[in-house]
Structure 1
Amino acid sequence: MKRLLALAALVTAAPLLAAQPIEGRWMTAEKDAVITIDDCGSSLCGKITRFLVPPPQGADQRDVNNSNASLRNRKLLGMPVLTGFSKDDDVWRGQIYDPKSGKTYRSIVRRKSANQLEVKGCIGPFCQTQVWTKAR
């Protein structure tokens, strides 16, 4: 009987370890943009879909800080900043691009609650964490 109860506890606990969905519209921690996360082929990606604070060159702002000179002419609006995200146990893993620095980092994202998304950008073992909130 104890084994049966232990097995039942493991089976019911397993879904809690699964990554919670991260799709939707999210306001960045700096409250300057809305990122929409959705399917992009075989993975998830997040694109800048709205500026809440206009960038220096307005809605037509280009990716001027990109370390790849051939990408500096692309518009920020509509550009993917989260790419290649796939489930890994209770988190999503992929890459995050920071248009302000022009750098791409390893990223880990997880749903903290219905209205909060924890977004980490990492270099090696060091990560910086932001909390994004559900956009209206």
Structure 2
Amino acid sequence: MKRPILSALALSTACAAAIPAGAADHRSFGTWRNPKNSVHVRAQPCGKTMCGVVVWASDKAKADAARGSDAPLVGSTLFRDFRQERPEVWRGKVYVPDIGKTFSGTISVKDANHLEGKGCLVGRVGCKSQIWTRIGG
């Protein structure tokens, strides 16, 4: 995927979480950067699910996002309705602003500082994955 936000699709899949009464994997909460360090997303509880809000983006990522959406990239919710599927694995929806589309994705907690995000464009076609790194340890 060329654009930084499309690469968010892979992570996007990286921020899912239903938060069943005290059972959610809180290791997925926090602020994460994509491999190119062009987008930072804060994964946080949103009601009974987890969401991911963009807290910082490079100028290039902002420009790419502006091609597909009128909404500002910083402050937008890219990861929505992520629910815990099993320990350390989440599933939800990822919004990709540079193309104005929402996709399904998953994230897996690899360790305390890394998430692997996987996403597919349609069904299991065009799948990509990325490793995102926690910011601030």
Fold conserved (TM > 0.5)? yes
Unaligned runs of 5+ in 2: 1-22
Larger Rg: 1
Q: How many residues align?
A: 110
Give the Å deviation of 1:99.
Answer: 2.3
Match of 1:25 among 19, 23, 31: 31
Match of 1:50 among 46, 53, 56: 56
- Cα shift readout 1:60-95 (whole Å, capped 9, x = no counterpart): x695343xxxxx322111001110001111310101
**Secondary structure of 1:55's partner?**
helix
**Secondary structure of 2:42's partner?**
strand
Unaligned runs of 5+ in 1: 1-17, 67-71
CA distance in 2, matches of 1:73, 1:62: 11
CA distance in 1, matches of 2:61, 2:41: 19
**Does residue 87 in structure 1 map to residue 84 in structure 2?**
yes
TM-score scaled by length of structure 2 = 0.70
Give the Å deviation of 1:102.
Answer: 2.5
CA distance in 2, matches of 1:125, 1:32: 26
2:115 is matched with: 117
TM-align CA RMSD: 2.2
CA distance in 2, matches of 1:133, 1:92: 17
Identity of aligned residues (%): 30
2:13 is matched with: none
2:130 is matched with: 130
Give the Å deviation of 1:28.
Answer: 1.1
Verify the 8 A CA contact 2:64 2:98 in the aligned structure 1: no
1:64 is matched with: 66
- Cα shift readout 1:6-41 (whole Å, capped 9, x = no counterpart): xxxxxxxxxxxx874311000012210110000112
1:4 is matched with: none
C-alpha change, 1:62 and 1:124, in structure 2 (3 Å) is closer
C-alpha change, 1:29 and 1:87, in structure 2 (3 Å) is same
Match of 1:78 among 70, 75, 78: 75
1:10 is matched with: none
CA distance in 2, matches of 1:56, 1:125: 26
- Cα shift readout 1:92-124 (whole Å, capped 9, x = no counterpart): 010112223332210101110111011111221
C-alpha change, 1:82 and 1:56, in structure 2 (3 Å) is closer
TM-score scaled by length of structure 1 = 0.70
